[in-house]
Amino acid sequence: MKAPNGKTLMKQQQVGAIIIGGEHPGLGIARSLGRRGIPICVIDDQHSVSQFSKYVTRVVRVKDLRDEHKTVESVLEVGQRYGLKGWVLFPTRDETVAAFSRNRDRLAKFFRVTTAGWETVRWAWDKKNTYDLAEELGLPVPHTYNPRTERELADLYSRLPLALKPAVKENFFYATGAKAWRADTPDQLNELFRKAAQQIRPEEILIQEIIPGDGQRQYSYCAFFRDGEALSTLVAKRLRQHPREFGRAATYVETIEHPEVEELSERFLRAIDYYGLVELEFKQDPRDGQFKLLDVNARTWGFHSIGLPAGVDFPYLLYADQVGKPVDRCRARAGVGWLRAVTDFPTAAADLWAGELSLGAYWRSLRHTRAESVFCLQDPLPSAAEVLMLPYLVTKKYFAKSGGKSEIQAADDREEADLTARGSVK
């Protein structure tokens, strides 16, 4: 029997997974679980590559996944409409994590909820909370300031250059399309503060020191964490990203061994009694050698599909735990690479041209690559669809938000969009 979209109807008695957000992180979840015969439903508010995967059983489009109330109502309505009671929820965006966390009790009456409660998630959601707790625990963090008025900025002029970033990432990103802004002069700092204050509350505006170096000094600790310990772990180094300084996303990462990053991460996660999949991002400061905590992502992260070839199938571990199956302890092996080709090829070309990357290092990274964000020989349609959808994806992701940006940031995003588009040309 076929569904309206031509795909086989799901077995009602089997516990499946509901993935909210079908971009490449969601596709990685679908492939992890779908290969094991687990039915997959993707809920999205836009066209995405996951809808073309052979592992996805049903795709449901809804109007809005940014608003908390609408997100919860939509997910519950879809679950009730298609009889998905008891299915496992996999959010892929921070705003969805917050919505599920704050409405966990309600959602848990119908679904298996993989998101921790708000008493835990709030420490990852708001960077002010993250940095305050990290300092209490003795974890290094960048010097961060929270001026409430433009007059207070004068005290920071001597510390320039500085980064202006949001305490709550989603509020700022959807208004501006930026992860952070750089200010090199007092005038720039004042201007960017005014622009930020037009989009988010002053309480959410953070001014932070810029740690020297690019993505090669950035590290990620990834884990399935439960009951105060990591049941699975992976540490990765971000070898290429774009933009180079304030990397919006990694384009090539590689697994490594790093006990210090693990110890710092697990100290933080134990303190908040974390449950689920998580990524903590650090940057090593060349001035003092310390690994400083930048961000905590309480969900699957962009390159989580590196886990399977490295020996840690993160989505399945979480699914198995939710349905009561045994979860084996595992640890990722070092030297496994993950690539997002559509952005890495032009990023690598730019780095080669600038002398920031050697041909030998680039070739070695390709030899170590065992996972690509979208391309898969066993499931080829999503990668073909990504190329065909590039104009839609670039427009949706970058140009729709450019109205509230500074000229510097808008130009930077246009450059990234151009790099992405050029990366699709054979």
Residues 6 or more apart whose Cβ sits within 8 Å of residue 328: none
| Mean of pLDDT over the chain | 90
Share of the chain above pLDDT 90, in %: 81
pLDDT tens column, 26-46: 999 999 999 999 999 999 999
Q: For residue 193, what is the enclosing H or E element?
A: helix 186-199
Is-cis flag, bond preceding 286, omega within 30?
A: no
- For 116-151, give the DSSP string: PPHHHHHHHHSHHHHHHHHHHTT-----EE--SSGG
Tell me what the mean pLDDT of segment 256-274 comes to: 98
Overall pTM surpassing 0.85 (yes/no):
yes
Amino acid at 214: D
Q: Is the pLDDT of residue 224 over 50?
A: yes
Q: For residues 28-54, b (16+ Cβ closer than 10 Å) or e, as one string?
A: bbbbbbbeeebbbbbbbbebbbbbbbe
pLDDT tens column, 339-395: 999 999 999 999 999 999 999 999 999 999 999 999 999 999 999 999 898 877 666
**What is residue 229's DSSP assignment?**
E
Q: Are strands 181-183 and 205-209 parallel, antiparallel or unpaired?
A: unpaired
Q: Is the pLDDT of residue 211 over 50?
A: yes
| Extended strands (E) in 285-390 | 291-297, 330-331, 337-339, 369-372
Tell me what the mean pLDDT of segment 128-151 comes to: 97
pLDDT tens column, 169-202: 887 887 777 788 999 999 999 999 999 999 999 9
Tell me what the mean pLDDT of segment 259-282 comes to: 98
pLDDT tens column, 291-337: 999 999 999 999 999 999 999 999 999 999 999 999 999 999 999 99
Task: Quickly state the pLDDT bin for 417 (edges 50, 70, 90).
Answer: very low
Distance CA 98, CA 26 (A): 17
Burial of 373 (0-12, 13-18, 19+ CB in 10 A): buried
Q: Is the pLDDT of residue 416 over 70?
A: no
pLDDT attached to residue 423: 34
pLDDT attached to residue 366: 97
- Do 40 and 17 form a contact (C-beta atoms < 8 A)? yes
Distance CA 194, CA 196 (A): 5
Taking each helix axis as running N to C, give the angle between helix 24-34 and helix 314-322, from 0 to 180 degrees, rounded to the nearest 10. Answer: 60
pLDDT attached to residue 419: 37
Q: Is the pLDDT of residue 143 over 50?
A: yes
Q: Is the pLDDT of residue 425 over 80?
A: no
Helices (H), 355-380: 359-368
Distance CA 347, CA 419 (A): 7
Q: Is the pLDDT of residue 243 over 90?
A: no
